[in-house]
Structure formats: C-alpha cells, structure tokens
Structure 1
Amino acid sequence: MTGLEEAKRRAESDAKSRGYFLNPDTSFLNDLLAGLVENERRYGYPSCPCRIATGKFELDRDIICPCDYRDADVEKYGACYCALYVRKDIFEGKTPLNPVPERRPPQKQRAAISAAGTPVSVSVKAAEKPDVEKKESGAPGMKLWYCKQCGYVALRDEPPYLCPICKAKKEMFAEVKLELVG
C-alpha cells in the first residue's frame, strides 16, 4: 500500500467513524492527501496541508489531521478548514462548498510563522518523553503508553497499532516511566 493509499484509508476510516465524508473532488482530495503524506514524511506527523507547520510537535499538535478545529468547522460550515472532511449534503452536491474561516488562534499562527523561518527536523522516536524513573510495579512486561497526539493512555506490553481515539499510528506513542512511591 502506498503512502497516499494509506493516508486515504485512514482519512476514510476517520470520516466514517464521525459520520463525515471525504471531499468529492478526486483531484483536490488527492492533493490534500499528498500534502498529509509529505508532512508526515517531513515532520513525523500528518499536519494539516493547508496550514503552516513548524516541525515542533508541541506547537503543531492542534493542526495534526484531523485537527482540533475540524468538528466545529464541519458542524458550522459543512467542511473542515482544508475541506478534506465534509458533511453529507456537500458530498452529495446539495450544498455548495464555501471557504471556511481560520479558527486557529492568531498567537499559534504567529508562532508557526516565526518558527517556520528556520528549517526544523523532528524525529518521532527522539520526541520528548517524561523523565520519571520506573520501579517494578508487579505487572511484568506491562508498560504505560501515551498518545502524543491526543493524550490517550494505555497499559500494555507495547503501544497500540492505531490510537483508538485519534487514529494516530504506533509511532506517535511514547512510554511513560513511573516512579511508584510508597
């Protein structure tokens, strides 16, 4: 499966789970998906292809697709900011697709613009992890994993293949090391 096919499969799965559809314009849709694939290759996460990403995970967390603003935009305007996700009436051509105003706060936009002036490269495996040491907890082989995209936490021997909440890939999970006191 190519990167584009995988991105489309993930987006379709997410759209279906929320009752949304993908943009019906195949050429436009493929351009958006190619942008997501390129951003994931470049930054290690699929940041919105219609916004300026910094390559710094913490600054871009709100614009990782599906972005934090998607649901409110689809509800109010019928589509998300980049128009990857649309409502049924737009998908069926009953309602025209109109531009969606930017919801991202101006301070986050400015931070992205100023940070984008310097090329940044981030490795997902080198992303920050909590600095807390772990003592034996009586659960041999079990580890605490958190999704760096949405904050989901799971106790298991290895991270989930996909986050059940935001559908982030396994690489977006980091191990939480705990020190048990007492």
Structure 2
Amino acid sequence: MKKITLLLSIMALSAVFSSSVLAQQTASATSSASTTIVAPIAISKTTSMTFGSFATGTAGTLVMSPQAVRTSTGGVKLTAATGSPTAAAFTVTGEGSYGYTVTLPSSLTLTTATTGTGTIKTMVVDTFTSSLASGIGALASGTQNFTVGATLNVGIDQAIGLYENTTGFTVTVNYN
C-alpha cells in the first residue's frame, strides 16, 4: 500500500511539474513611433523660354540648349533682328539638402494669330532638356536654380508671324 501511495504521489507531482514546463511563456517589448514633417517642395518660373527670331524657307529645327545657346538645322537661319533668345529658368525650394527629380513635358504647340488667309498655323516644341544631370537635383540650403531648353520644329514654308503658347508648359518636381 505504501508503494502504491508513493507511486501515486510521484505520478501526481510529475504531472504538476510537466504541465508547468509545457505552459505558454509570454514576453513583451515596448517600441516608440515618430515622424518628421519637411518643407513642401515648390517650383517657380523665373524666365520664360524664347527662341528668338529666325528666317526659313524649308523645314528644319531650332534648338535652344539649357545654356541658352541656339543652333539650327535644315532651312532655319538664325537672325538677331528681334527677340532675345533665352532658356526657361526655374527655382526649386524645399527641405535643405534633399534630392528631387524633374519631369519635363513631352511637347507643346506654338500657334499664330490667324494669317491673312484666316488660317491658324502651328509649330511643335519637343525634346525638352534641363541643365540638371539626368533630371536630378539637390537642394543646397533649401533652394536650387535650373534651366530648360527644347527643340522647335519648323515646317516647310512656315507662315511669317509671332508664334506663342500662352498656356505655358508644366515642369514638375518631386522629392526622391
């Protein structure tokens, strides 16, 4: 009887200890959260793009570099008669030392007022380029200036007159 009682006591103690060994263990840790609000990025135009004046009789192009240097191809002949050629210029502001990318338009159309025949004539501006290497800028002390050039495509016997795009073109900047 003593052996049975002893054996039952050992079994009961074993069950108690084994169930406490298999019991779930819990742990917890504390973490904090934070965020930083930075100055919003902004862009403003400081100078509009002006291709200046030229003469033509056949098709060609007039290229305005971001450094405001004009070159021409085909029948486009550069003149100095009117207009000061300038690349478009922009100022970007935002959080100091942050990087950003520039998105340029794909094209825009310049139009004339109606010609003597009542027809509106157009020329397309495309191949926009910026003075920023690969379209990537870096704000030094929260500001940076850059310029934009493009290619003006001139048609055969393009009508004489002033060609404009009064709605402008959009240049977009975003933080990297």
State TM-score, norm by structure 2: 0.19
Of structures 1 and 2, the one with the larger relative CO (CA 8 A, separation 6+) is 2
Which one has the bigger helix percentage?
1
Work out which of the two has the higher radius of gyration on C-alpha atoms and give 1 or 2. Answer: 2
State TM-score, norm by structure 1: 0.19
